[in-house]
Chain A
Amino acid sequence: MSPLVLILATPLFGSVVLALMGHKPNGRNVNVIFSFGTFLASVFLTTRIVASGPIFALNHQFFIDSLNVFLVALTALIGFTTSVFSRPYMRIEEEHGKMTHNRMRLYFSMYQLFNFCMLLALTTNNMGILWVAMEAATLTTVLLVSVYRTPASLEAAWKYFILCGVGIAQALLGTILLYMAAQKVIAPGVNPLLWSNLNAAKTLLNPVIMALAFVFLLVGYGTKVGLAPLHNWLPDAHAEGPTPISAVLSGLLLNVALYAVIRCKILTDGALHNHFAGHLMIGFGLLSVLVGAFSLLRQRDIKRMFSYSSIEHMGIMTFAFGMGGSIANFAGLLHMTVHALSKSAVFYAVGHAAQKAGTQIMENIRGLIKVSPTVGWGLMIGTLAILGMPPFGIFASEFLILTSAMHQLPWAAPILLLGLAVAFGAIFSRVQPMVFGETNVKPLAHPPALLPVFLHLGLALMLGLYIPGYLNHWFVQAAAIIGG
Chain B
Amino acid sequence: MTELSIQLINLFASFLLLLAFAMLAQRRVINLVNIYAMQGLTVAAATGVVAYVTHQEHLYYSAAMTLVLKVFLIPWILRRLIKRLDVRWDVETLINIPSMMLIGIVLVVFSFNLALPISKLSTSVSPGTLGIALACVLLSFMMMITRSKALPQVIGFLSMENALVFAATSATSGMPMVVELGIALDVLVGIFILGVFMFQIREQFESLDISHLENLREE
A and B touch in the complex (CB under 8 A): yes
Q: Residues on A close to B: CB < 8 A? A: 126, 128-129, 131-132, 135-136, 139, 142-143, 146, 149-152, 154-159, 161-162, 165-166, 169-170, 172-173, 176-177, 179-180, 183-184, 191, 193, 206, 208-209, 212, 235-236, 239-240, 295, 298
Provide 6 A-B residue pairs closer than 8 Å at the C-beta atoms, listed in order of the A residue. A142-B193, A146-B200, A152-B215, A170-B137, A179-B175, A209-B121
Are A139 and B193 touching (Cβ within 8 A)?
A: yes
Are A169 and B197 touching (Cβ within 8 A)?
A: no
Q: Closest approach, in angstroms, between the C-beta of B141 and any C-beta of chain A?
A: 7
The residue in A126, A142, A180 that gathers the most chain B C-beta atoms within 10 A of its C-beta is: A180
User: Digit string of B197-219 for contact with A (CB within 8 Å is 1, else 0)?
Assistant: 10011001100001001011011
* In-complex Cβ contact of B167 among A156, A166, A176, A206 (8 A): A176
* In-complex Cβ contact of A154 among B167, B171, B186, B204 (8 A): B204
Are A212 and B114 touching (Cβ within 8 A)?
A: yes
User: Digit string of B112-151 for contact with A (CB within 8 Å is 1, else 0)?
Assistant: 0010011001111000001000100100010010000010
Take A128-B179, A180-B172, A193-B175 as given contacts and tell me if A295 and B218 are in contact as well, using a CB distance cutoff of 8 Å: yes
Chain A residues in 8 Å Cβ range of B153: 162
Are B171 and A180 touching (Cβ within 8 A)?
A: yes
Which residue on chain B has the smallest CB distance to residue A300? B219
Q: Closest approach, in angstroms, between the C-beta of B197 and any C-beta of chain A?
A: 6
Residue total for B at the interface (Cβ-Cβ under 8 A): 45
Q: Closest approach, in angstroms, between the C-beta of A385 and any C-beta of chain B?
A: 26
Q: Closest approach, in angstroms, between the C-beta of A5 and any C-beta of chain B?
A: 17
Interface of A is mostly: helix
Chain B residues in 8 Å Cβ range of A173: 134, 137, 164, 167
Tell me if B157 counts as interface (CB < 8 A to partner A).
yes
Are A193 and B176 touching (Cβ within 8 A)?
A: yes
* In-complex Cβ contact of A176 among B114, B172, B193, B200 (8 A): B172
Q: Closest approach, in angstroms, between the C-beta of A128 and any C-beta of chain B?
A: 3
Complex CA–CA separation, A422 to B123 (angstroms): 52
Chain B residues in 8 Å Cβ range of A295: 218
Take A128-B182, A149-B200 as given contacts and tell me if A183 and B172 are in contact as well, using a CB distance cutoff of 8 Å: yes
Which residue on chain B has the smallest CB distance to residue A139? B189
Tell me if B178 counts as interface (CB < 8 A to partner A).
yes
Which residue on chain B has the smallest CB distance to residue A172? B164
Chain A residues in 8 Å Cβ range of B164: 169, 172-173, 176
Q: Residues on B close to A: CB < 8 A? A: 114, 117-118, 121-124, 130, 134, 137, 141, 144, 150, 153, 157, 160-161, 164, 167-168, 171-172, 175-176, 178-179, 182-183, 185-186, 189-190, 193-194, 197, 200-201, 204-205, 210, 213, 215-216, 218-219
Chain B residues in 8 Å Cβ range of A240: 216
Chain B residues in 8 Å Cβ range of A129: 178-179, 182
Which residue on chain A has the smallest CB distance to residue B173? A183
Which residue on chain A has the smallest CB distance to residue B118? A209
Which residue on chain B has the smallest CB distance to residue A240? B216
Chain B residues in 8 Å Cβ range of A235: 216
Are B160 and A169 touching (Cβ within 8 A)?
A: yes
Complex CA–CA separation, A157 to B216 (angstroms): 11
Are B122 and A135 touching (Cβ within 8 A)?
A: no
Which residue on chain B has the smallest CB distance to residue A165? B157
Complex CA–CA separation, A432 to B2 (angstroms): 72
Chain A residues in 8 Å Cβ range of B122: 180
Q: Closest approach, in angstroms, between the C-beta of B49 and any C-beta of chain A?
A: 18
Take A158-B197, A169-B137 as given contacts and tell me if A135 and B186 are in contact as well, using a CB distance cutoff of 8 Å: yes
Are B171 and A156 touching (Cβ within 8 A)?
A: no
Are B157 and A162 touching (Cβ within 8 A)?
A: yes
Which residue on chain A has the smallest CB distance to residue B201? A154
Chain A residues in 8 Å Cβ range of B171: 176, 180
* In-complex Cβ contact of B197 among A136, A146, A150 (8 A): A146
Take A154-B204, A209-B118, A209-B121 as given contacts and tell me if A166 and B160 are in contact as well, using a CB distance cutoff of 8 Å: yes
Known contacts A150-B204, A184-B121; can you find 17 more A-B pairs with CB under 8 A?
A126-B179, A128-B179, A139-B190, A139-B193, A152-B216, A161-B197, A162-B144, A162-B153, A165-B157, A169-B157, A169-B164, A179-B168, A180-B118, A183-B172, A193-B179, A208-B118, A295-B218
